[in-house]
């Protein structure tokens, strides 16, 4: 397994991480605990060292799963988790649950995460979404104190705007920004990626396979259970799925030339963008884990990358990536 450093920090992780959310939350009913434990163990055996979770996934159940399954390997892996939602109400779904990044709440959240993750230190702690009611300097200051106490090693932000990143970084260096980034969501290229490069901050790319779409296995006839987050997304309506097949056609053509799969081309493209970008595709299936890891050995030439970028930039992706209530939580 190749390794990468997140920006100028000394945090070294596997070139591909594993997003664990879907094992417990968001993509249909929670999956079988024994099967997911076996999958997490298989990921470690294959060289993956970077695992992503959050207290809101479940809530809490995903951290429990990850903490218990990875306890035997704790010294050789990096676990990232997130705070920032108010989980005291009856409806704890992101977008419904309110935001809370008050310093006292951050410290409470970290104590809970440490217990569930069965660890005495969190390797990378993200603010899950920017809280407009709490100055980012106060958030960064609270995490700085947790780092001084030895409870957290690295500070991260998720879906933050450029000015917020700069303000936070001035108080406590930001190791990584977690953002959606893929061939069908390239908005970070305009301002975010240049800012990260300037400041020496790594990018952790979530949904690098477009929530499954870029695997080429989802078409306009796809149906999603009401417990599947994608059933609420404008980009996953039948009309949008039909319109967006052009992107799959492009990936399929290149995959055929490279004797690989559309998913592997999508991941290889991301890995080739910057040496400090680490995609974290999520999966609940062993064959998909192996397919994703295979992307690391796919070689895209400069001509390949130019061709993919040029053709992809002419494709207008149909449908917003989030409903309005969730989209307004990003880019703050």
3-5 vs 152-158, strand pairing mode: unpaired
* Partners of 178 in the β-ladder: 158, 204
60 is catalytic: no
Cβ(315)–Cβ(240) under 8 Å? no
SS3 162: helix
Burial status of residue 282 (CB atoms within 10 A of its CB: 0-12, 13-18, 19 or more): buried
Considering the candidates 57, 126, 181, 322, report the single residue annotated as catalytic. 57
Give the torsion sign (CA, 256, 257, 260, 266).
Answer: negative
C-alpha distance across the termini of the chain, in Å: 35
CB atoms within 10 A of CB 172: 21
Question: CA-to-CA distance for 286 and 12, rounded, in angstroms?
Answer: 24
Rg (CA), the chain: 19
To 5 degrees, how large is the angle CA 17–CA 23–CA 25? 115
Residue 91 contacts by C-beta under 8 Å, 6 or more apart in sequence? 97
Among the listed residues 203, 207, 210, 138, the one whose alpha carbon sits nearest the alpha carbon of residue 174: 203
* Partners of 83 in the β-ladder: 127
Question: CA-to-CA distance for 169 and 196, rounded, in angstroms?
Answer: 10
> Which residues are the active-site residues?
57
């Amino acid at each position: 397994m190749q390794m990468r450093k997140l920006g100028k920090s000394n945090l070294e992780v596997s070139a591909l991480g594993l997003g664990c959310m879907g094992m417990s939350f968001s993509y249909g009913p929670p999956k079988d605990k024994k099967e997911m434990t076996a999958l997490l163990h298989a990921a470690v055996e294959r060289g993956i060292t970077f695992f992503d979770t959050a207290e809101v996934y479940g809530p809490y159940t995903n951290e429990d799963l990850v903490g218990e399954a990875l306890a035997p390997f704790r010294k050789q892996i990096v676990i990232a988790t997130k705070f920032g939602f108010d989980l005291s109400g009856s409806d704890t779904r992101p977008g419904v649950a309110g935001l809370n990044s008050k310093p006292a709440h951050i410290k409470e959240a970290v104590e809970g995460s440490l217990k569930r993750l069965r660890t005495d230190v969190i390797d990378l702690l993200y603010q899950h979404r920017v809280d407009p009611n709490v100055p980012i300097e106060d958030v960064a200051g609270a995490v700085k104190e947790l780092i001084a106490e030895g409870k957290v090693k690295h500070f991260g932000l998720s879906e933050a705007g450029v000015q917020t990143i700069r303000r936070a970084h001035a108080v406590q260096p930001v190791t990584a920004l977690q953002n959606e980034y893929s061939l069908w969501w390239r908005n970070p290229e305009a301002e975010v990626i240049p800012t990260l490069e300037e400041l020496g901050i790594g990018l952790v790319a979530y949904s690098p396979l477009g929530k499954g779409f870029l695997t080429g296995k989802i078409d306009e006839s796809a149906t999603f259970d009401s417990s599947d987050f994608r059933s609420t997304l404008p980009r996953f309506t039948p009309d949008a799925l039909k319109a967006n097949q052009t992107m799959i056609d492009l990936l399929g053509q290149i995959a055929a030339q490279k004797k690989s799969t559309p998913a592997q081309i999508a991941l290889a493209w991301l890995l080739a963008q910057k040496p400090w970008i680490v995609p974290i595709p999520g999966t609940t299936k062993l064959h998909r884990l192996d397919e994703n890891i295979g992307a690391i050995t796919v070689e895209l030439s400069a001509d390949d990358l130019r061709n993919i970028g040029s053709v992809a930039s002419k494709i207008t992706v149909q449908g917003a990536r989030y409903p309005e209530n969730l989209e307004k939580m990003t880019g703050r």
